């Protein structure tokens, strides 16, 4: 059985797992008007920016000039995840640990800066590090090099649902014999280039008020807002070691069939719908996509048949990082037996039991995490509580 033994989180609500979890339980939103660049004139002006930090305090100086902002965040999360799992990769066999991350595109901010230099000053001004810093595989590569993780490597590029695919890819490597896999996603596109690229989806919210811009499953839903950050998880097959949760099931579908992803995931986990304690919904905030998701949840669990939450209402949608953070948050919810809340939703759709504004304690045996990307990617992962903790 694949288990989560380590978690590293960097989100707009905190650049450590503890800060993120505490802010999430306080229902503290980090959404605000964009500060990283001037958002005037763009359709969407609200974002969830990761807390400012000094890279020199967290990263070796060799890595600073060669990394985009989102890779710096990913390296911080990966180191925290390994420490949390109590793993020193030097103690592992040479090919004993691998990395699979997800990405939507790569290092947009770095890429924009270097492309601007190319057109304004000439190609000789472009950094040699552009060759990989804006590449979608860069986080997998940098995490692997920094920690000497020579096992299987990979990247899932599936827009906002990639992180759960990455987890599934990592689980396959564990089943094939690699003892430790780092997986998840950390992402950012908070620069004008990335912003315009996201804007053409037509899904970004035009509302300038941070508390009204992103309201999934609300009668007032008008789209989503981007955020930056993500989570890196350490997965292992070792069930005797302390761990947060089992990765009990996964399914992936393409097209309109989110409901099939949920059903197949429960079959993979061998868990009945009535034993699912909470659903971390994708919560696109786009009325048509919310309707599909609400219908799929209702088809499997019945009307208001399971608590549903969208903690990413506090961070914005972290591109490929969002579902990774949902997995981390779901694992923490299982450990602490409390469902984190959804914020800013005032007129929820009646068919869902949304956990609003404050955490809801309860007996939670398993948590379903859903994730969808534009174009029809659907992913579902079911986490279950470690057996030895069922009564604690």
Partner 1 sequence: MLTLDALKNTMRECAGEDEAIDLDGDIADTPFADLGYDSLALLETAARIERAYSVKLDDTVTDARTPRAFIAIVNAALPTATVPA
- Using CB under 8 A as the binding rule, whether residue 93 contacts partner 1 is answered as no
- The 10 Å Cβ neighbour count of residue 361 is 9
Q: Please, which of residues 111-130 interact with partner 1 by CB under 8 A? A: 124-125, 127-129
The smaller minimum CB distance to partner 1, of residues 128 and 295, is found at 128
The smaller minimum CB distance to partner 1, of residues 114 and 282, is found at 114
Among 40, 61, 288, 391, binds partner 1 (CB under 8 A): 61
Question: Smallest gap, in angstroms, from Cβ of residue 64 to partner 1?
Answer: 6
Give 98's strand partners: 181
Question: Smallest gap, in angstroms, from Cβ of residue 226 to partner 1?
Answer: 30
Q: What are phi and psi of 303, to 5 degrees?
A: -60, 130
Question: 166 near 102, Cβ under 8 Å?
Answer: yes
Residue 131 Cα to chain centre, angstroms: 26
Tell me the C-alpha distance between 369 and 384, whole Å. 11
Question: Smallest gap, in angstroms, from Cβ of residue 67 to partner 1?
Answer: 10
Phi/psi-derived region of residue 25, left when phi > 0, alpha when psi is between -120 and 50, beta in every other case: alpha
Tell me the C-alpha distance between 46 and 330, whole Å. 26
Instruction: Convert 319-351 to b/e letters by CB count within 10 Å (16 or more is b).
Output: bbbbbbbbbbbbbbbbbeebbbbbbbbeebbeb
Measured in residues, the chain has a length of 392
The smaller minimum CB distance to partner 1, of residues 65 and 93, is found at 65
Name the segment binding partner 1 (CB under 8 A); options: 5-13, 14-22, 55-63, 179-187: 55-63
The smaller minimum CB distance to partner 1, of residues 62 and 176, is found at 62
Among 18, 28, 35, 60, binds partner 1 (CB under 8 A): 60
- The 10 Å Cβ neighbour count of residue 264 is 17
Q: Please, which of residues 266-305 interact with partner 1 by CB under 8 A? A: none
Name the segment binding partner 1 (CB under 8 A); options: 64-72, 189-197, 350-358, 364-372: 64-72
- Using CB under 8 A as the binding rule, whether residue 62 contacts partner 1 is answered as yes
Burial class (CB in 10 A: 0-12, 13-18, 19+), 305: middle
Q: Please, which of residues 356-385 interact with partner 1 by CB under 8 A? A: none
Question: Smallest gap, in angstroms, from Cβ of residue 141 to partner 1?
Answer: 12
- Using CB under 8 A as the binding rule, whether residue 131 contacts partner 1 is answered as yes
- Using CB under 8 A as the binding rule, whether residue 63 contacts partner 1 is answered as yes
Residues forming contacts to partner 1 in the complex (CB under 8 A) are: 60-66, 124-125, 127-129, 131
């Amino acid at each position: 059985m694949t288990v989560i033994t380590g978690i590293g989180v960097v989100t707009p609500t905190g650049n450590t797992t503890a800060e993120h979890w505490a802010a999430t339980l306080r229902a503290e939103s980090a959404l605000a008007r964009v500060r990283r660049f001037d958002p005037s004139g763009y359709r969407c002006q609200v974002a969830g920016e990761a807390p400012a930090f000094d890279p020199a305090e967290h990263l070796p100086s060799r890595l600073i000039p060669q990394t985009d902002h989102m890779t710096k965040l990913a390296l911080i999360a990966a180191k925290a995840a390994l420490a949390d799992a109590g793993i020193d990769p030097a103690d592992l066999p040479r090919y004993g640990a691998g990395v699979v991350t997800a990405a939507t595109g790569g290092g947009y901010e770095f890429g924009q800066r270097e492309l601007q230099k190319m057109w304004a000053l000439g190609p000789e001004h472009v950094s040699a590090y552009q060759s990989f810093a804006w590449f979608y595989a860069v986080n997998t590569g940098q995490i692997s090099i920094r920690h000497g993780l020579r096992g299987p490597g990979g990247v899932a590029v599936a827009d906002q649902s990639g992180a759960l695919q990455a987890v599934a890819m990592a689980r396959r490597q564990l089943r094939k014999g690699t003892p430790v896999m780092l997986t998840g996603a950390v992402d950012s596109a908070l620069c004008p280039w990335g912003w315009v690229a996201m804007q053409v989806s037509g899904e970004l919210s035009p509302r300038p008020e941070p508390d009204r811009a992103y309201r999934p499953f609300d009668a007032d839903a008008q789209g989503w807002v981007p955020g930056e950050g993500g989570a890196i998880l350490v997965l292992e097959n070792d069930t005797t070691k302390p761990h947060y949760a089992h990765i009990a099931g996964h399914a992936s579908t393409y097209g309109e069939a989110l409901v099939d992803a949920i059903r197949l995931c429960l079959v993979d986990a061998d868990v009945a719908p009535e034993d699912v304690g909470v659903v971390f919904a994708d919560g696109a905030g786009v009325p048509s996509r919310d309707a599909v998701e609400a219908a799929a949840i209702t088809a499997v669990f019945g009307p208001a048949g399971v608590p549903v939450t969208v903690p990413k209402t506090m961070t914005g949608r972290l591109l490929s990082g969002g579902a990774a953070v949902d997995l981390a948050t779901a694992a923490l919810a299982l450990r602490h037996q409390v469902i984190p809340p959804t914020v800013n939703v005032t007129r929820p759709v009646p068919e869902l039991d949304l956990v609003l504004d404050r955490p809801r304690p309860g007996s939670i045996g398993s948590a379903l995490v859903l994730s969808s990307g534009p174009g029809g990617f659907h992913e579902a992962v079911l986490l279950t509580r470690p057996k030895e903790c069922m009564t604690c």
